[in-house]
Amino acid sequence: MAKSSSLCHLISQHRCSTSFGGTFFFLPLSLAISTLVLIFLYNFCTTSKVFTSNDNNLYQESSPISSLIQQMIPFSFENAADEIFFSPRSSPMSKGNLFGLDGNYAKNTEIYHDEDLFQQDYKEMNRSLKIYIYPHTKDHPYANILLPVDYDPKGHYASELYFKKVLSGSHFITQNPSEANLFFMPFSIVEMRHDPRIGVEGMQSFIKQYIYNISQTYPYWNRTGGADHFYVACHSIGRFAMDQVFEAKFNVIQVVCSSSYFVAGYVPHKDASMPQIWPRQGNPPDVDSLKRKQLAFFAGTINSPARVALLKVWGNDTAIFAHFGRLETPDADQLLDAKFCLHVKGFEVNTARIVDAIYYGCVPVILANHYDLPFADILNWESFSVVVHYMDIPVLKKILQRISLEEYSILQSNTLKVRKHFQWNDPALDYDAFYMTMYELWLRRGSVKVN
Ligand SMILES: *[C@@H]1O[C@H](CO)[C@@H](O)[C@H](O)[C@H]1NC(C)=O
Ligand SMILES: *[C@@H]1O[C@H](CO)[C@@H](O)[C@H](O)[C@H]1NC(C)=O
Ligand SMILES: *[C@@H]1O[C@H](CO)[C@@H](O)[C@H](O)[C@H]1NC(C)=O
Ligand SMILES: *[C@@H]1O[C@H](CO)[C@@H](O)[C@H](O)[C@H]1NC(C)=O
């Protein structure tokens, strides 16, 4: 009872106009009417978007912002779809009131969707998940591709090499394939790219060969068509890795950094998103300081429509400091001095910027439509980041300025809480990026084991 009456209270407070407020009878009626109106508006907007020319467009007439963006972001299938599925006015951020702090339902501040469930299941995973790595010897001609590296991985695609290295030394490994939940194909996309015998062009046929070999030598591939097999890739070329083996493309679990749910080759729920992490040691100074002078910071080259839009709107702004051009090293001073650090989609939805921001205690602002964010099955990204749609770039400053100091301090303390989930350690530490990735795999294991 308490629940439903508070729901009614909320609805009447937020949804019904003042003349309806408190009048119980009108609630279902007004909901029905508003649903009809919404359906009508939706049909009107989408049909006019897709089937008629721009001059008869509801959006553009009423919103100079969207026409500005439209001029700046050239038409493409992706952009068209963006507009169909999202409207700038439905962005929850543009209404302010981030966590409902002025109401009585401040639960969006939890960093986990369900902490108890996660903890319990994590322990179960830690006890029972078993992985079989296809074994290869040091004298294999492609040992450099197949075996873990013996140094600390560095650079943009370190996540891929770290995962394999840490997994190889972990308690999840079994030598007995009959007790394995999952089978790891240990080829490295990053190493293939640099091997002159393979390169980007040879990657697909190498993988085709590899899968042919394991399916001839072992019985495990044929049992499931690869559905209990996985591989890991951080470079976006991994997206095309399976193109010559259709069975693999549809079945294998891909653990990848480039996890855009709007491109072919990545299937959310089957595949898993892994964070791109530039490995760093130790703790930056004053990482938890709330006294950050800059409102927002961005650095990067201009290689995407979203970044062009950012440059055009905020290129000269002093509150939003955007540095366009290649920064050799991440600018630690800037990341420590800004309240918000922008991650703006470049060629791909992913870069190491989000994790850099988190590392430096700077609340990430994510401008990367369709990014299947890492560990989103576990973590409530709304509690420690601000997700903004491209269409809202012109109102970005307003969105960020509207976040109160109280809300900001919640966001930032949550950013610091999730730091441990975005770090690699060798050997792994509980709840770090390795364990989180293992948990994502655990969620994707088959429930029926084939024997
Ligand atoms: C996970 O397993 C490792 C190795 O057995 C152990 O050291 C660690 O404490 C476990 N963590 C949890 C949360 O159970
Ligand atoms: C597949 O097996 C053949 C024959 O043993 C070997 O020459 C080749 O290098 C293997 N290829 C891969 C990609 O493992
Ligand atoms: C798996 O299936 C392929 C194609 O049907 C077959 O050639 C191969 O011998 C099978 N592998 C095993 C280990 O039986
Ligand atoms: C930024 O400043 C430059 C040089 O003054 C000017 O050409 C450009 O139009 C300005 N951009 C914006 C978005 O105001």
- Asked if 380 and 417 touch (Cβ cutoff 8 Å), the reply is no
By three-state DSSP, how is residue 288 classified? coil
Quick check: CB of 206 below 6 Å from ligand 2?
A: yes
pLDDT at 446: 80
Range with the poorest average pLDDT among 171-180, 261-270, 377-386: 261-270
In this predicted model, what pLDDT tens digit does every residue of 385-409 receive, in sequence order? Answer: 999 999 999 999 999 999 999 999 9
Q: Exposed (0-12), middle (13-18) or buried (19+): which is 431, by Cβ within 10 Å?
A: middle
Look at residue 99 in the predicted model and tell me its pLDDT: 78
Which residue's alpha carbon is at the smallest distance from atom 14 of ligand 4? 316
Instruction: Count CB atoms within 10 A of the CB of residue 425.
Output: 15
Ligand 4 pocket check for 312: Cβ under 6 Å: yes
Point out which residues pair with 246 in neighbouring strands. none
**Average pLDDT value for residue range 54-75:** 40
Q: Which of 255, 247, 251, 249 is nearest to 271 (CA)?
A: 255
Segment 407-449, tens digit of pLDDT = 999 999 999 999 999 999 999 999 999 999 999 999 999 865 6
The pLDDT confidence band at residue 361, using thresholds 50, 70 and 90, is very high
Binned at pLDDT 50, 70 and 90, residue 98 comes out as: confident
Mean pLDDT of 184-208: 97
pLDDT above 70 (res 335): yes
pLDDT in tens, 280-300: 988 998 899 889 999 999 999
pLDDT of residue 308: 95
Which among 325, 315, 334, 294 is positioned nearest to 394, based on CA atoms?
315
Say yes or no to pLDDT of 65 above 80.
no
The pTM of this model reads 0.81
Give residue 422 CA to ligand 3 midpoint distance, Å. Answer: 40
Mutate to test the pocket of ligand 1, among 126, 170, 429, 442 (most ligand atoms within 8 A of CB): 126
Q: Which of 56-65, 341-350, 356-365 has the lowest mean pLDDT?
A: 56-65
C-beta neighbour count of 284 within 10 angstroms: 15
Cβ of 119 closer than 6 Å to ligand 1, yes or no, is no
CA of 317 to the centre of ligand 4 (A): 10
Query: Is there an atom of ligand 3 within 6 Å of 219 CB?
Result: yes
Short-list 187, 169, 359, CA closest to 279:
359
Average pLDDT, the chain: 82
pLDDT, greater one: 393 or 90: 393
Tokens of 323: 């540095």
222 C-beta closer than 6 A to ligand 3: yes
Per domain, the residue ranges of the chain are: 86-128+282-422, 129-278+427-443
Residue 170 CB-density burial (10 A; 0-12 exposed, 13-18 middle, 19+ buried)? middle
What's the fold here for domain 86-128+282-422?
Answer: Rossmann fold (3.40.50)
Instruction: Please report which confidence band the pLDDT of residue 451 belongs to, taking 50, 70 and 90 as the band edges.
Output: low
The stretch 182-188 carries a mean pLDDT of 98
